């Protein structure tokens, strides 16, 4: 099923204990700062909060991307491993603005009443849908890669 709003769930399995996984995550996450000044590269990979077995983090970047995924997750014990169950989503404010824009463009095209104007609006709508979707997926891929490297994710076989 294709999601209208960028949203993805994934898991990272590691052979670390639940406490070990939490400590490993704390090593790469720093508290969220309201404003990052300067060009300092002296920081962790992610920023956010870790409370008990749950966390809410995002990658620290040095450029603008409003579609940076927020990773919300749980650290869960399995039989012989620990699983990080993560949901990647957009910030709620971006979802509201993006939805408002989409509704405004579509309703403007419908209210215009002229089919030729509707076809002119379609490429604009697609552009403002595809570009943010690509930006979200680009940043999500980077965050997944960093987390997989940190946890040395093992691929478990069913056999």
Domains of the chain: 7-151 (3.30.310)
Residue 112 above 50 pLDDT? yes
% of the chain with per-residue pLDDT over 70: 86
Backbone angles phi, psi at 107, to 5 degrees: -65, -35
Neighbours of 2 (CB within 10 A): 3
What's the pLDDT tens digit per position in 67-103?
999 999 999 998 888 999 999 999 999 989 888 887 8
What is the H or E stretch that residue 71 is in? Answer: strand 70-77
pLDDT of 111 reads 74
Report which of 70, 68, 55, 69 is spatially closest to residue 24, judged by C-alpha positions.
Answer: 55
Cβ–Cβ under 8 Å, residues 65 and 6: no
Residue 69 · residue 136 · CB < 8 Å? yes
Q: Are 142 and 15 in contact (CB under 8 A)?
A: no
Question: With bands split at pLDDT 50, 70 and 90, how would you rate the model's confidence at 58?
Answer: very high
User: 47: which strand partners?
Assistant: 30, 58
Looking at the chain, the whole-number percentage of residues with pLDDT higher than 90 is 41
SS3 state at 84: strand
First CA to last CA across the chain, in angstroms? 28
Q: pLDDT at residue 110 above 80?
A: no
Q: Dig out the tokens for 100 from the structure.
A: 């408002």
* Amino acid 35: pLDDT: 74
Q: What is residue 63's three-state secondary structure?
A: coil
pLDDT tens-digit map of 8-32: 999 999 888 899 899 999 999 999 8
The torsion of the CA quartet 40, 44, 49, 52, rounded to 10 degrees, works out to: -160
């Amino acid at each position: 099923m294709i999601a209208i709003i960028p949203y993805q769930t994934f898991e990272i399995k590691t052979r670390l204990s639940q406490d070990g996984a939490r400590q490993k995550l704390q090593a790469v996450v720093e508290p969220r700062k309201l404003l990052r000044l300067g060009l300092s590269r002296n920081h962790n990979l992610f920023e956010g909060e870790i409370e008990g077995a749950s966390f809410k983090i995002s990658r620290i970047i040095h450029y603008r991307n409003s579609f940076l995924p927020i990773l919300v997750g749980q650290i869960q014990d399995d039989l012989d491993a620990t699983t990080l169950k993560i949901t990647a989503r957009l910030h709620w404010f971006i979802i509201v603005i993006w939805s408002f824009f989409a509704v405004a463009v579509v309703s403007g095209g419908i209210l215009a009443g002229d089919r030729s104007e509707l076809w002119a609006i379609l490429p604009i709508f697609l552009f403002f849908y595809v570009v943010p979707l690509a930006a979200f997926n680009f940043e999500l891929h980077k965050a997944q890669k960093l987390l997989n490297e940190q946890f040395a994710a093992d691929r478990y076989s069913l056999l």
